[in-house]
Amino acid sequence: MPEDISLSIDGTKITVPPGTTIHKAAESAGIPVPTICYHDHCTANGLCRTCVVEVEGARVLAASCVAQVSEGMVVYTNTERVERSRRTILEMLASAVDLSESPEILSMMEETGASHERFPGAERRQPSVLDDNPMYIRDYAKCVLCWRCVQVCAEDAQYTYALNFTGRGFETQIGTFFDRHLPETTCVFCGQCLGVCPTGALKPKREWLLEQGSTMEEVLQATHVKRKRRRKE
């Protein structure tokens, strides 16, 4: 069996098995490192970079959700550099995306002292709500591009490949093949994507309609699905 790895995180010496990420190692030492995109059941991609830490001797900060520990590593999770990046990322995110239904991100902003008004006049991503099926809506103005829905729709869970990206850079959005409505795609309405969405960008249609002030009657009307019953012949 390979030998355990010793490292120090914020001055605390710990020992973990090889292959452990810095994020997990820190967690085991009781040092929580914030993250947005990371999910235990999805492939970690190191996208949001709010989990960055400073590793002694490294040129740039390391995304702790993907960077693995190594022997003798000296890690700091709260240096000035780390905090500047973490805070600025959150401030930029708040200037682009509707975070009103992302309680975890909002509390992260509070903890890091990130301001909601840091970037006046900033362009926001504000596409209108996509309401194209009776099961769930897609409100990409709330999307933080954590990729989880795309991943669970593909190899991380369902292998349906209904979702991918449109555009690139700041203009990136989650989308279907040629912007087709979901019922015209390979989507099987498994609901995995809703389960992993951290921001309310994906939401059951009934919940959304109730929030919009629809009556129960209207909700049932709008979300009723005629099922083909198979009869035994």
Partner 1 sequence: MSDFDLTPLRETLTAYAPQGRSGLLPALHAAQKLYGYIPEPVAVEIGLSLDVPLADVSGVIDFYRLFYREPVGKTIVRVCTDPACALASAEGVLGAFNELAGAGTGEASGDSANRHKNQLTVERFPCLGLCAHAPALLVGEQAVGDAAPKQAAQILNQERPMAADHVGGDARTLTAYCGRGHFTSLEEYQAAGGYRALGKALSRSPEQVIDEVKASGLVGRGGAAFPTGAKWLGCAGAPDEPRYVICNSDESEPGTFKDRVLMEGDPQRVIEGLVIAAYAVGSRRGIIYIRGEYTNAFYIMGQAVLEARQTGFLGENILGSGFDFDLELRLGAGAYICGEETAMFESIEGKRGFPRIKPPFPTTHGLFGKPTVINNVETLCNVPYIIQNGASAYRELGTDRSPGTKLFCLSGDVVRPGVYEVPFGVTMRHVLFDLAGGVPGDRSLGFVLVGGAAGAFATVEHLDLPLTFEDLNAAGLPLGSGVLMVFDSTRDVRDVLLRLGRFFTDESCGKCYPCQLGTQRQYEILGRVAAGTPLPGDADRLTEVGWTMSDASICGLGQTAATAVISAMKLWPKKFNT
Q: Helix (H) and strand (E) counts for the chain?
A: 7, 9
**Of 8-16, 99-107, 117-125, 212-220: span binding partner 1 (CB under 8 A):** 117-125
Phi, psi (5° rounding) for residue 84?
-60, -45
Candidate residues 8, 15, 85, 214; the one interacting with partner 1 per rule CB under 8 A: 85
Those residues with Cβ within 8 angstroms of residue 44's Cβ, 6 or more apart along the chain or in another chain: 21, 37, 38, 65, 66
- Work out whether 108 is an interface residue with partner 1 (CB under 8 A): no
**Of 23-31, 119-127, 212-220, 221-229: span binding partner 1 (CB under 8 A):** 119-127
Is the CB of 8 or the CB of 85 nearer to partner 1? 85
With tokens 């967690």, the residue in question is 27
Is the CB of 9 or the CB of 61 nearer to partner 1? 61
- Work out whether 172 is an interface residue with partner 1 (CB under 8 A): yes
- Work out whether 61 is an interface residue with partner 1 (CB under 8 A): yes
Is the CB of 13 or the CB of 178 nearer to partner 1? 178
Closest approach, Cβ 55 to partner 1, in A, equals 12
Candidate residues 41, 84, 116, 181; the one interacting with partner 1 per rule CB under 8 A: 84
Within 10 angstroms of residue 9's Cβ, the number of other Cβ atoms is 25
CB-based contacts of 171-179 (< 8 A; 24+ apart in sequence) = 172/145, 173/125, 173/127, 173/140, 173/143, 174/138, 174/140, 174/143, 174/145, 174/149, 174/150
Those residues with Cβ within 8 angstroms of residue 232's Cβ, 6 or more apart along the chain or in another chain: none
- Work out whether 132 is an interface residue with partner 1 (CB under 8 A): no
* Positions in 12-51 near partner 1 (CB under 8 A): 36, 45-50
Closest approach, Cβ 26 to partner 1, in A, equals 17
Q: Which of 7, 144, 148 is nearest to 72 (CA)?
A: 7
- Work out whether 231 is an interface residue with partner 1 (CB under 8 A): no
- Work out whether 188 is an interface residue with partner 1 (CB under 8 A): no
